[in-house]
């Protein structure tokens, strides 16, 4: 799956600008699914039809990534920007970003700050694209950029920008590739705008009306020096979500994923995330309510330009999903 993960993570696609990554994913799933369509908001839906009177199951991974958007261009061609999703100023200084038209920029910090010992705010940062004036600046207000980092392999550990949540997309694609016929009808949804509004998964679920929904996303870990205590580690298997800031997983889905992991012989972890949420929080609130849960890929340095996952955890997630939807 490494080549697939490389292709997905290195493709441009911040929230609200998912056309390019959607085209890449569509090329991967078109020949594997019985039906492929795009929702009005832009989420990609690949359907694997069932063989009998089974359930309608929705699997969702968001294809958007965090980024930045130009909010002002000054007379010298320097750009002020706002965040698309959760962007931490600490991870920005000196980072490179790339716009949809290919323009590269470097994020700099104002030299004259009242208290240089404090963490800077986004308002104190700017992007330098090498322009000499506002007139020759190759980007404009409203243009979006993503962080630039090449995919890297360190043994079993894989590092890239946008692992959140291209790694979930890779898991869904590989699950679709390996899945044999089941009595259930499976909807593989590659959602838009999770990092900002969760609107892609919410509207897709409204149209699908699933009997059960599972998000596949990343989660934090507690295994780095002086980390905030959390019982999730890299290399110990995918994590079954119990709770995060946006939802409590439905017991039916939580137990289904646990039993699937045990049946597949995959080590797993139980996840309680104190911050952040996933598409599952939106899917569970559609219509009269949908039993929803989440299978999480442990990930270090979430929402930075260098997110790290363990290949064994990714492979384990595929096996658990296949067993669960069966």
Supply the residues annotated as catalytic.
194
For 258-267, the CB contacts below 8 A with 24+ separation are 260/320, 260/321, 260/323, 260/324, 261/237, 261/316, 261/320, 261/323, 263/323, 264/316, 264/319, 264/320, 264/322, 264/323, 265/319, 266/237, 266/238, 266/316, 266/319, 266/320, 267/236, 267/237, 267/316
* CB within 8 Å of 255: residues ≥ 6 apart: none
Cα–Cα dist 52/131, whole Å: 61
Beta strands in 50-176 (DSSP E): 56-62, 67-73, 79-84, 96-99, 104-109, 125-128, 144-147, 152-154, 157-160
Cα–Cα dist 169/189, whole Å: 9
Terminal Cα distance for the chain, rounded: 22
Tokens of 198: 């969760």
- The residue to which tokens 């992007």 are assigned: 127
């Amino acid at each position: 799956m490494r080549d697939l993960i490389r292709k997905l993570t290195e493709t441009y696609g911040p929230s609200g600008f998912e056309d390019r990554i959607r085209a890449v994913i569509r090329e991967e799933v078109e020949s594997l699914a019985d039906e492929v369509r795009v929702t009005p908001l832009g989420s990609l839906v690949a359907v694997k039809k069932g063989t009998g009177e089974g359930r309608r199951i929705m699997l969702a991974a968001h294809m958007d990534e965090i980024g930045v958007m130009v909010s002002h261009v000054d007379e010298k061609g320097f750009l002020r920007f706002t965040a698309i999703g959760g962007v931490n100023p600490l991870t920005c200084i000196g980072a490179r970003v790339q716009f949809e038209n290919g323009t590269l920029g470097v994020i700099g910090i104002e030299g004259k700050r009242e208290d240089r010992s404090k963490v800077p705010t986004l308002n104190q940062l700017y992007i330098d694209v090498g322009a000499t004036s506002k007139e020759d600046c190759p980007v404009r207000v409203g243009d979006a950029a993503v962080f630039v980092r090449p995919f890297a392999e360190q043994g079993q550990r894989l590092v890239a920008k946008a692992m959140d949540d291209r790694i979930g997309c890779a898991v869904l694609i590989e699950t679709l590739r390996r899945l044999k016929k089941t009595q259930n009808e499976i909807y593989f949804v590659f959602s838009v705008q999770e990092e900002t509004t969760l609107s892609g998964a919410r509207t897709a679920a409204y149209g699908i009306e699933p009997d059960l929904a599972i998000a596949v996303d990343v989660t934090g870990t507690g295994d780095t020096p002086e980390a905030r205590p959390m019982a999730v580690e890299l290399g110990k298997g995918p994590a079954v979500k119990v709770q995060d800031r946006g939802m409590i997983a439905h017991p039916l889905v939580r137990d289904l994923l646990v039993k699937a992991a045990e049946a597949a012989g995959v080590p797993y972890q139980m996840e309680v995330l104190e911050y952040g949420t996933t598409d599952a929080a939106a899917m569970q609130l559609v219509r009269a309510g949908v039993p929803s849960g989440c299978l999480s890929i442990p990930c270090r340095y979430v929402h930075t330009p260098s997110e790290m996952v363990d290949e064994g955890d990714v492979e384990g997630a595929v096996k658990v999903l296949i067993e669960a939807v069966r």
